[in-house]
Amino acid sequence: MTIQSLRYIVAVAEAGSITEAAKKLHISQPSLSSAVKEAEREVGFNIFTRSRSDIALTKEGVEFLGYARQVIQEMRLLEDRFILNQPEK
């Protein structure tokens, strides 16, 4: 699983919609949907429940989202400290 996959899952959870999250992420809805399904396949459970008009986190998804947010925050700290602030060569 990649950091990008985690960012996608967080975006969907926050938007409450794959379509809206895809717009905010500037990617196609089918690509985002596929990425989320692939992440669910990797973890072995559904992160979201889906209906025609709604998407919601499952019980496991709520727990997963908490960890995903932590990983993303730690990655931001790492980038800020070591990657984005490198001196010019």
Give the per-residue pLDDT at 53.
81
Q: Is 48 helix (H, G, I), strand (E, B) or coil?
A: strand
**Residues lower than pLDDT 50 in the chain:** none
Taking the model in full, what pTM does it have? 0.89
Give the per-residue pLDDT at 52.
84
Q: Which fold has domain 3-83?
A: Arc Repressor Mutant, subunit A (1.10.10)
Backbone region of residue 86 per phi and psi (left: phi > 0; alpha: psi in -120 to 50; beta: other values): beta
Q: Within the chain, where are the H helices?
A: 3-15, 18-25, 29-43, 59-78
Per-residue burial over 18-55, b if 16 or more Cβ lie within 10 Å, else e, is beebbeebeeeeeebbebbeebbeeeeebbbeeeeeeb
Give the per-residue pLDDT at 87.
65
